[in-house]
């Protein structure tokens, strides 16, 4: 198999210099009409300390230069609308465009968050019904839609857990978290002032009741687990484990980021879970990525309802309203209603799919992951045998024999036109490659992806150097992955000396 030819990927792929490098003296992107009032002196309008001594270094460009620059940069992006995006744990499924149509409707898009409740009954009704649907899907009792992301939901859920224990007289000290957990879990626990205690998963990749019982005491506020866990395995001992935690007065928090595997099949609330967050931007097709707006609603059982954030959306005598006076509430976690646009998209998706459609989602998501797992298991090491849920995990153990690592495989996939899967996570699998196909991909796409993965496995034997030097047909090859984080450059400094730039720039005299 040869790398795929995406339109534009080879023939019309432009390199794009920075705007400053394209600057040409005197060129400008605007033309203003002549002044029809007497000119004013800048120095009369502003205090002297506000005035710059030197003209700012700005690139000089035409409108067309600017449009092409940003349009080209936008085409360097890879997105779910461009191609397959098998990023494990992220559920990069297709976001139906009907969601966008509904989100654009003026009655929703043009409401103002400060409008009185009576004038936004439709908006509140959508939110209220979404709460009802999510409660039914999860088997939980009450919800807040406010948190803006999964991690924000975790934080909110743990705040409620702390408030619950505090109301019982002791906030407790510890949160138990399995070694397979997403990094946000311990981070959220630490933010809520809890000490994180790691639990080792058993040989099968899931928690054992014994391991939980050994760590459970009356200083444990909660067990925080993900189901299915980040190995793509169902925590089959959850009901028994929940009993052990409850017997010592602890609570069970479920990270619901992997709900795509359970939709319509099983309800987290029936498994002994007290608090659950959803990732609407994963399971319910609202856009995500790029740090854009997400939504992480949190659902609780009755005994935690009093602690939900304010305002709480309620319905009385056919009218929807926002309840602010709730003495035991953890308070506000987000301005106004949360990310309403995301809530609306998730509502649209649920209405569009219906109960049968949602069931099909999880069936197809699990089937697709098992298909990939089965097609690739003769080529890549599979650390956990057996049926997986919505994602499958391989490692680079076999390719390491030829000196090829997970990162090399991921980079080589880009040459074949695929976004790489999640790499080196979960941490318990050395050199992990975590593939989550989701339900929205066709058999043809899954096959093309598997064929690319198989071709790479063969290259690892016949030409490992080529894999190690990948990617070969991207704008940039290997970037320093951590430098931007470790040594952030938060101000722009020109690539050339000021002198060079000023040669490229019209000499504007600063006349005050
Ligand atoms: C994505 C994810 C999170 C965090 O969700 P964000 O919306 O990115 O904050 C937490 N846990 C798991 C298992 C996840 O996959």
Report the alpha-carbon distance of residue 305 to residue 48 in Å, rounded. 58
Report the alpha-carbon distance of residue 278 to residue 138 in Å, rounded. 9
Radius of gyration of the chain from its Cα atoms, rounded to whole angstroms: 27
Q: Which residues contact 64 (CB under 8 A, 6 or more apart)?
A: none
Largest CA distance in the chain: 84
User: How does pLDDT run across 352-395, given as a tens digit for each residue?
Assistant: 999 999 999 999 999 999 999 999 999 999 999 989 999 999 99
Atom of ligand 1 nearest to the CA of 279: 7
**Residue to mutate (ligand 1; options 87, 88, 89, 289; most atoms within 8 A of CB):** 89
In this prediction, residue 134 carries a pLDDT of 98
CATH of domain 361-476: 3.90.1150.10
Report the alpha-carbon distance of residue 438 to residue 89 in Å, rounded. 10
Atom of ligand 1 nearest to the CA of 230: 13
**Do 119-352 and 361-476 have matching folds?**
no
Atom of ligand 1 nearest to the CA of 152: 9
Q: Which residues contact 421 (CB under 8 A, 6 or more apart)?
A: 86, 87, 88, 410, 413, 433, 434, 435, 436
In this prediction, residue 440 carries a pLDDT of 97
Domain ranges of the chain: 1-77+479-512, 119-352, 361-476
Atom of ligand 1 nearest to the CA of 151: 9
pLDDT band with cut points at 50, 70 and 90 for residue 409: very high
In this prediction, residue 7 carries a pLDDT of 41
Residue nearest atom 8 of ligand 1, based on CA coordinates: 150
pLDDT band with cut points at 50, 70 and 90 for residue 153: very high
Other C-beta atoms closer than 10 Å to the C-beta of 373 total 23
Residue 212 has pLDDT above 50, yes or no: yes
Residue with tokens 């509904």: 102
**Residue to mutate (ligand 1; options 150, 258, 261, 391; most atoms within 8 A of CB):** 150
Mean pLDDT of 144-152: 96
Give, to the nearest 10 degrees, the angle between helix 340-376 and helix 443-462.
50
Report the alpha-carbon distance of residue 25 to residue 57 in Å, rounded. 12
Other C-beta atoms closer than 10 Å to the C-beta of 103 total 19
With a pLDDT cut of 90, the percent of the chain lying above it is: 78
End-to-end CA, the chain: 66
In this prediction, residue 131 carries a pLDDT of 98
Q: Which residues contact 443 (CB under 8 A, 6 or more apart)?
A: none
**Residue to mutate (ligand 1; options 187, 279, 284, 297; most atoms within 8 A of CB):** 279
CATH of domain 119-352: 3.40.640.10
User: How does pLDDT run across 316-356, given as a tens digit for each residue?
Assistant: 999 999 999 999 999 999 999 899 999 999 999 999 999 99
Do 156 and 144 meet the contact criterion of CB atoms below 8 Å apart?
yes
User: How does pLDDT run across 17-73, given as a tens digit for each residue?
Assistant: 888 888 888 898 888 899 999 998 888 899 999 998 887 788 899 999 999 999 988
User: How does pLDDT run across 306-318, given as a tens digit for each residue?
Assistant: 999 999 999 999 9
In this prediction, residue 507 carries a pLDDT of 55
pLDDT band with cut points at 50, 70 and 90 for residue 498: low
Atom of ligand 1 nearest to the CA of 226: 13
Mean pLDDT check: name the lowest of 24-28, 174-178, 299-303, 507-511: 507-511
Buried residues in 170-187 as b, exposed as e (16+ CB within 10 A) = ebbebbbbbebbbebbbe
Mean pLDDT of 79-100: 94
More confident residue, 31 or 136: 136
Mean pLDDT check: name the lowest of 17-26, 191-200, 494-503: 494-503
- Cβ(391) – ligand 1 distance below 6 Å: no
Do 330 and 309 meet the contact criterion of CB atoms below 8 Å apart?
yes
Buried residues in 266-286 as b, exposed as e (16+ CB within 10 A) = bbbbebbbbbbbbbbbbbbbb
In this prediction, residue 500 carries a pLDDT of 64
Report the alpha-carbon distance of residue 296 to residue 152 in Å, rounded. 7
Tell me the average pLDDT of the chain: 92
**pTM score, two decimals?**
0.88
Report the alpha-carbon distance of residue 433 to residue 441 in Å, rounded. 19
Q: Which residues contact 82 (CB under 8 A, 6 or more apart)?
A: 6
**Residue to mutate (ligand 1; options 255, 276, 421, 436; most atoms within 8 A of CB):** 255
In this prediction, residue 497 carries a pLDDT of 62
Classify strands 220-226 and 195-199 as parallel, antiparallel or unpaired.
unpaired
User: How does pLDDT run across 94-109, given as a tens digit for each residue?
Assistant: 999 999 999 999 999 9
In this prediction, residue 14 carries a pLDDT of 65
Per-residue tokens: 178: 């399995």
Of 189, 236, 185, 244, nearest to 212 by C-alpha is: 244
In this prediction, residue 502 carries a pLDDT of 61
User: How does pLDDT run across 429-478, given as a tens digit for each residue?
Assistant: 999 999 999 999 999 999 999 999 999 999 999 999 999 999 988 777 88
Do 220 and 175 meet the contact criterion of CB atoms below 8 Å apart?
yes
Report the alpha-carbon angle 94-95-98, nearest 5: 130
- Cβ(279) – ligand 1 distance below 6 Å: yes
Do 163 and 330 meet the contact criterion of CB atoms below 8 Å apart?
yes
At residue 422, what are phi and psi to the nearest 5 degrees? -65, 140
Residue nearest atom 4 of ligand 1, based on CA coordinates: 150
Strands (E), 424-464: 432-435
User: How does pLDDT run across 172-183, given as a tens digit for each residue?
Assistant: 999 999 999 999
DSSP 495: S
- Cβ(257) – ligand 1 distance below 6 Å: yes
Centroid of ligand 1 to alpha carbon of 454 (angstroms): 29
- Cβ(178) – ligand 1 distance below 6 Å: no
């Amino acid at each position: 198999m040869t790398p795929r030819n995406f339109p534009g990927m080879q023939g019309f792929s432009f390199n794009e210099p920075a705007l400053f490098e394209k600057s040409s003296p005197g060129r400008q992107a605007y033309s203003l009409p002549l002044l029809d009032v007497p000119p004013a002196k800048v120095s009369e309008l502003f205090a002297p300390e506000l005035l710059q001594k030197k003209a700012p270094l700005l690139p000089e460009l035409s409108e067309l230069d600017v449009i092409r620059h940003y349009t080209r940069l936008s085409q360097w992006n890879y997105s779910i609308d461009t191609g397959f995006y098998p990023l494990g744990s992220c559920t990069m499924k297709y976001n139906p465009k009907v969601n966008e149509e509904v989100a654009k409707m003026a009655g929703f898009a043009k409401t103002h968050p400060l409008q009185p409740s009576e004038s936004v009954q439709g908006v509140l009704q959508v939110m209220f019904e979404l709460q009802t649907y999510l409660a039914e899907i999860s088997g939980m009792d009450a919800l807040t839609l406010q948190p803006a992301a999964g991690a924000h939901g975790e934080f909110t859920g743990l705040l409620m857990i702390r408030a619950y224990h505090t109301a019982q007289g002791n906030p407790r000290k510890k949160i138990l978290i399995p070694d397979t957990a997403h990094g946000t879990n311990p981070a959220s626990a630490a933010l809520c002032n809890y000490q994180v205690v790691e639990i080792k998963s058993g040989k099968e990749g899931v928690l054992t009741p014994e391991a939980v019982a050994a760590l459970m005491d009356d200083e444990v506020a909660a067990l925080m687990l993900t189901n299915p866990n980040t190995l793509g395995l169902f925590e089959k001992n959850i009901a028994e484990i929940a009993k052990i935690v409850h017997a010592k007065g602890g609570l069970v928090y479920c990270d619901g980021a992997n709900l795509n595997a359970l939709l319509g099949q099983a309800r987290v609330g029936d498994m002994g879970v007290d608090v659950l967050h959803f990732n609407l931007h994963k399971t319910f097709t609202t856009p995500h990525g790029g740090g854009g707006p997400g939504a992480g609603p949190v659902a609780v059982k009755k005994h935690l309802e009093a602690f939900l954030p304010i305002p709480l959306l309620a319905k009385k005598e056919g009218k929807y309203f926002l309840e602010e006076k709730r003495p035991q509430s953890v308070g506000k976690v987000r301005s106004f209603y949360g990310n309403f646009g995301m809530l609306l998209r998730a509502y649209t998706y649920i209405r569009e799919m219906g109960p049968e459609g949602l069931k099909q989602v999880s069936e197809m998501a699990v089937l697709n992951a098992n298909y990939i797992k089965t097609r690739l298991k003769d080529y890549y090491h599979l650390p956990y045998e057996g049926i997986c849920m919505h994602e499958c995990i391989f490692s680079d153990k076999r390719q390491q024999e030829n000196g090829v690592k997970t990162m090399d495989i991921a980079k080589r996939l880009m040459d074949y036109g695929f976004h790489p899967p999640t790499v080196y996570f979960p941490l318990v699998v050395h050199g992990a490659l975590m593939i989550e196909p989701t339900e929205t991909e066709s058999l043809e796409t899954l096959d093309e992806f598997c064929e690319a993965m198989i071709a790479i496995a063969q290259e690892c034997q016949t030409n490992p150097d080529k894999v190690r030097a990948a990617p070969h047909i991207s704008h940039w090859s290997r970037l320093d992955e951590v430098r931007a984080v470790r040594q952030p450059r938060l101000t722009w400094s020109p690539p050339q000396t000021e002198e060079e730039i000023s040669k490229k720039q019209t000499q504007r005299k600063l006349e005050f």
